[in-house]
Amino acid sequence: MLEKLIVFVEEYSMEAALEQLLPKLLGDVEFQIIRFQCKDDLLKQAPERLRGYASWLPDSWRILVLVDRDDDDCLLLKATLEKMAVAARLLTKTAAGNGQLFQVVNRIAIEELEAWFFGDWQAVRAAYPRVPTTIPNKAAFRDPDAVAGGTWEALERVMKKAGYFSTGLRKLELARSVAIHMDPARNGSRSFQAFIGAITAALA
């Protein structure tokens, strides 16, 4: 039974969103979010952090490493994360066999955290009521993980048009405001559902 989940994230807004989301997903299970300065910083420091955990990690703890794909090749990025865990002598969910107890699960947000917000537009509207209800029906936004031209930039344009963030999107503020209203069961983002799958596997 899972007693604690440690989550590596690359930036402030993901940390802010998970602070709202994880209690909904984990119930009474303890969690700790370790935030790095950026994606490059996470990829640089994670190997040493993982080696440190490998020497004492209890069987009832799991580590979730969560990064944005950005412009990286998804398969290569996932392979990099897997190699980090293997080098630290930690067993990943991908490498574990059926019923085998894994220690690390790696997940990639495609393309960025903001895709998760497009995936639960009701939550966005709860926080920012002036945004149009019709956004998810538009061809450009039907697939939250395939929004062209940058996901946060697209969200910024929608927000500005609705009269919010006239001086530029404040990602941290938006993450806190939207995540508190998010319902994991209704999110249409594939990468969000992969994240949920990782949490479910960790709880099993």
> Over the chain (204 residues), what is each successive 10-residue block's mean pLDDT?
95 95 96 96 97 95 92 91 96 86 89 91 98 96 91 96 97 96 95 92 87
Give residue 124's pLDDT: 98
Residue ranges of domains in the chain? 4-112+187-203, 114-179
Global pTM value: 0.93
Give residue 97's pLDDT: 77
- Output the CA–CA distances (angstroms, integers) from residue 64 to 18, 67, 186, in the order listed: 12, 10, 22
**Range 4-112+187-203 has CATH code 2.60.40:** no
